[in-house]
Structure 1
Amino acid sequence: AVERIIYKLDLQNHCERACGTYSGGNKRKLSTAMALIGDPGVVFLDEPTTGVDPKTRRFLWDVLIKATAEGRTLVLTSHSMDEITAVSTRVTIMVGGKMRCLGSLQHLRSRFGQGLTVIVKTEKGADPGPAKNFILHEFEDSELIEEHTNMMTIRIPQKKVLWSQVFKALQDGQQRYHIEDYSVSQTSLEQIFIMFAHGQEAINDSDLNYDREAAEEELERSSSMKI
């Protein structure tokens, strides 16, 4: 079991050395190996990739993903939104020592997201005004967030529009309004975290109570929880 975990964490060239001489990345690998040895059913990890280089970080993510595929439940804390997105199936956000929400990434985006973000780039030399006015008039309550030369960012409340409607409108108006390129995305996990941390009024007590009830029902249907 020890040799297997050494090779799994790529520590075979360092296993004869004192751990105090390890680099930061290898120390993180060693910590992960110690947590996984013995094939525990539940593994708790605190900031497992803090301070490591991007290559080692992705290597450790792969190790954690494989561990969940083998049937283990991982409970980890992290301030890295990329890490949470890469390895998590369920996420909880804690503010002031209290769990404020719990659910899948898509559930949190749908429940607490601020809508769709549309980034539009108009053709060089073209007047961006018509494209901007087209989008703002096409989608009710849409808001111009940022504009710079031929680039603009517009937020559209998702509750009032479907993804397909946004893509269809942009595609239909692409040639007429000289749109060179565009992208549509949901509210990021980082934006949702900041929203909770700042205690925005948009998230009221009834929303949080509903989310806790939904989370409890989800946990009852599941035999394990991966965060």
Structure 2
Amino acid sequence: MISLLMPGGRAALALHVVFSLLNTMYLPYAVVYFVDRVYLMCRVNLACTNLTFADYLTDEIIVMLVSSLLQIPILMYVLLVLDIKKSGGRASDVFKHFLPNSNNMTVEEVENNDVGEHEDDDVRMERQKVSDILSNRSADPPVVIVQNLRKEYQKVTRVCSGSTDGSCCCMKGDSDHDVHNKVAVHNLSLAVDAGEVFGLLGHNGAGKTTTMKIMIAEEAATKGRVQIAGHNITSNTAEAFQLMGYCPQHDAQWKNITVREHLECYAAIRGVPPSDIDRVVDLYLAGLQIQEHAGKQSQHCSGGTRRKLSFAMAMVGSPSVVLMDEPSTGMDPRSKRFLWDTILASFQGSRGAILTTHSMEEADALCSRVGIMVKGELRCVGSTQHLKNLYGAGYTLEMKLRGGDRTPTTPSSDSHSDLKEFVAGLFPDATLEESFADRLMFSVPQHAVTSLAKCFLQLETAKTELNVEEYSFSQTTLEQVFLKFAHYDEVNGD
């Protein structure tokens, strides 16, 4: 308005400078107005026959150009700060974004020694391994490094300070707020090497999902850091996410576009050259055996097909790290086994993966190492066989006597006594867990088995001499190890 009433006046120019510098929404409208004003002034001026670029360089337009050049780095800095703060970083991490050596440890990370109370030796060794890797700055670091990762949630409870009239209700101003910190992840440290599938196990509320959310920057960590292929997810977010694939538990797909279009879209986003997109998409469709569904909209596909599509979307673009949250949920046994074989074949080279699952069978089939979390702490880590040997109850021996058509009331005390005597001689520390009719089940400690060959030889002999119809001698399963930690959590729960 001032510029209309006082064209060329100092007051109008001063206000224009202030708004151009301070109000980003002012610039686009001002550009249209002042450019149009130059054009209209030329139309009404008979001496103006042809407009050149120099005619548009008025004082107002020059001010807007300078303001834009000043605002671009400032707004870029603000956006980077907001993005890094959302991922749990600090404002100073913005400068690390532009530095070549941006993954140096901070003092806070080095001095964070509040480790869990119940860590075993393997977890302590894993923590030391992570510290050594980061201290030595290896040229070929693990594809995933998590160091002293901690996540706390604040829980505010309203507490009545009491009232003079004895009422039980809190009046305004008569209540205090008690703030408690709930630790969801307790200083987690682990490293995942290339070619390794690491299984993160734990019951609901153990901290698995929170850890995954921090790794994909959906949650901000309270302390600690995460590196993906050498890139810190707070200071080098773009570089880290370019090397990461994510297969969520619930299929994140568009309902109205086809399976092929999903893969073409993700291939373009992940930087696959346009000339190679069709070849890459056909490769994944054939490899996962979903060619016949390529033209279907995702809403019309079965649950198993959608899970295969989610896995393909996570793998396209050849990421260095893939996070998989229960990848085979809702799949039939045949499709599940096929997906497992595909996963095993996909992580044999330079890729690594972290898998969370409630299926011990899936963890046993896929994971080269597993870690079990309880109350946010990593309690144990190692191969499935190592954990079975370390925390398992040993072996289970189940024997069935001949005569399966007997009723439970049929006397079989003599046969049972002979069988118990045989097992006591073979395994002195074995205990009888169950006894019913023609079936007996014994628990055999790990140290009682010195030679599996000798055990099976004598069991085969007893099968003939003691009238045993069949027997089963098996090691503790991973599920029993998992249940042992879950039971510990229940017994020692708050």
TM-score greater than 0.5 by the shorter chain? yes
Which amino acid letter does the alignment assign opposite residue 106 of structure 1?
A: Q
Residue 359 of structure 2: which of 75, 80, 83 is its match?
80
Residues 117, 155 of structure 1: 8 Å contact kept: yes
Aligned residue type for 1:24: G
Shift of 1:45: 0.4
The CA distance in 1 between the partners of 2:355 and 2:287, in whole Å, is: 20
Which one is further off, 79-88 or 189-198? 79-88
SS of structure 2 residue aligned to 1:128: helix
Instruction: Tell me by how many angstroms 1:34 deviates.
Output: 0.5
Distance between the aligned counterparts of 1:161 and 1:59, measured in 2?
A: 36
Partner of 2:418: 130
Q: Distance in 1 between matches of 2:449 and 2:361?
A: 27
Amino acid of the structure 2 residue aligned with 1:193 = F
1:225 is aligned to none
Q: Choose which of 282, 301, 316 in structure 2 pairs with 1:22.
A: 301
2:93 corresponds to: none
Aligned residue in 2 for 1:159: 447
Residue 165 (structure 1) shift: 4.0
Return the match for 2:482 from 193, 197, 200: 193
1:171 alignment partner, SS class: helix
Residues 93-112 of structure 1: CA distance to partner in whole angstroms, max 9, x if unpaired? 11222211111111011111
Q: In the alignment, which residue of structure 2 is the partner of 1:44?
A: 323
Which residue of 302, 311, 334 corresponds with 1:55? 334
Question: What letter is aligned with 1:113?
Answer: G
Structure scoring higher RCO (CA < 8 A, sep ≥ 6) equals 1
Checking the alignment, whether the CA contact within 8 Å between 1:92 and 1:102 is kept in structure 2 is yes
CA distance in 2, matches of 1:176, 1:24: 52
**Structure 1 pair 77–179 and aligned structure 2 pair: CA distance change class (3 A):** same
Separation in structure 2 between the aligned mates of residue 44 and residue 103 of structure 1, nearest angstrom: 19
Aligned pair partner of 1:64 in 326, 330, 343: 343
Secondary structure (helix, strand or coil) at the match of 2:465 reads: coil
Aligned counterparts of 1:174 and 1:23: Cα–Cα separation in 2: 48
Q: Give the TM-score normalised by the residue count of structure 2.
A: 0.39
Instruction: Give 1:137 shift.
Output: 4.2
- 1:174 is paired with a residue whose SS is helix
Distance in 1 (CA, whole Å) between partners of 2:284 and 2:462 is 56
Distance 2:401 2:322 in 1: 49
Please state how far the C-alpha of 1:9 moved relative to its aligned partner. 1.6
Determine which of 391, 400, 421 is the counterpart of 1:121: 400
Q: Out of 429, 447, 468, which is 1:179 matched to?
A: 468
Q: Deviation of residue 16 (structure 1)?
A: 2.0
Percent of aligned positions with the same letter in both sequences?
A: 40
Aligned to 2:437: 149
| Larger Rg computed on CA atoms | 2
Paired residue type of 2:337: R
Q: Within 2, Cα distance between the matches of 1:70 and 1:7?
A: 21
Map of 1:205 onto structure 2: none
Unaligned 5+ runs, structure 1:
201-227
How far the C-alpha of 1:70 sits from its partner, in A, is 4.4
- Shift of residue 167, structure 1, vs aligned partner: 2.2
Task: State the distance in 2 between where 1:16 and 1:170 align.
Answer: 57
Distance 1:98 1:22 in 2: 39
Question: Which residue identity does 2:457 align to in structure 1?
Answer: K
Aligned-pair distance for 1:149? 1.6
User: How far, CA to CA, are the matches of 2:464 and 2:290 in structure 1?
Assistant: 56
CA distance in 2 between counterparts of 1:99 and 1:15 reads 41
SS of residue matched to 1:16: coil
One-letter amino acid of the structure 2 residue matched with residue 66 of structure 1: A
> Which is worse superposed, 49-58 or 63-72?
63-72
> How has the CA–CA distance of structure 1 residues 149 and 31 changed in structure 2, closer, same or farther, with 3 Å as cutoff?
same
Cα separation, 2, equivalents of 1:58 and 1:138: 38
Deviations for 1:73-124, whole angstroms, at most 9, x for unmatched residues? 1211111111111111111111222211111111011111101111112222
SS at match of 1:13: helix
Cα separation, 1, equivalents of 2:359 and 2:432 = 28
For residues 192-213 of structure 1, the C-alpha deviation after alignment (integer angstroms, 9 at most, x for no partner) is: 000011118xxxxxxxxxxxxx
Q: Distance in 1 between matches of 2:336 and 2:459?
A: 37
Amino acid at match of 1:123: R
SS at match of 2:397: strand
1:89 aligns with 2:380: no
Q: Which amino acid aligns with 1:157?
A: P
Query: SS of the residue aligned with 2:291?
Result: coil
Asked whether the 8 Å contact 1:131–1:178 carries over to 2, the reply is: no
Range 18-27 or range 47-56, more displaced: 18-27
Distance 1:2 1:156, change over 3 A: same
Matches of 2:393 and 2:382, distance apart in 1 = 17
The normalised TM-score by structure 1 is: 0.81
